[in-house]
Structure 1
């Protein structure tokens, strides 16, 4: 049984989920622009490093709460 975490979901085309499969973390990023992107990580620090590069503060200017919510949810996985 895998544990699935929903990080955010704006609609059925824009969401980010994390599946925990033992020590492996599978991040699925679905967007209406890029389709589905799947990333596999072997550790939480590796996933968080990816997230810090993927979700840059400069991209969330004026939406800092949204960025903070995403990062907090990922840290809680």
Structure 2
């Protein structure tokens, strides 16, 4: 069996304490959210639609504390995964 490896996508990275990455390991998507306030949060998804459902709830316009451009940049980075 050939190991395809893990492909890592950086969604955003403000500094070494505030970042969000997605690792694609076969069919599994591992999302790591690192924050200087909460530490590290890790979510594992088995499909892109499942991950995007989480993304749409986590980064809803009502809850997002940033500009529309920042939000669109984050959403586009997730769509590229």
Give the TM-score taking structure 2 as reference length.
0.90
Give ranges in structure 1 of 5+ residues lacking alignment. Answer: none
8 Å contact from structure 1 (residues 23, 42) kept in 2: yes
1:40-66, Cα deviation, whole Å (9 max, x unpaired): 000000000000000110233660110
The counterpart of 1:21, out of the listed 25, 29, 33, is: 25
- Taking the TM superposition and a 5 Å limit, the aligned residue runs for 1:1-77 are 1-60=5-64, 63-77=67-81
Q: Which has the higher helix share?
A: 1
Tell me how large the CA RMSD over aligned residues is. 1.1
Give ranges in structure 2 of 5+ residues lacking alignment. Answer: none
| Structure whose CA Rg is larger | 2
Runs of 4+ more than 4 Å apart: none
Give the TM-score taking structure 1 as reference length.
0.95
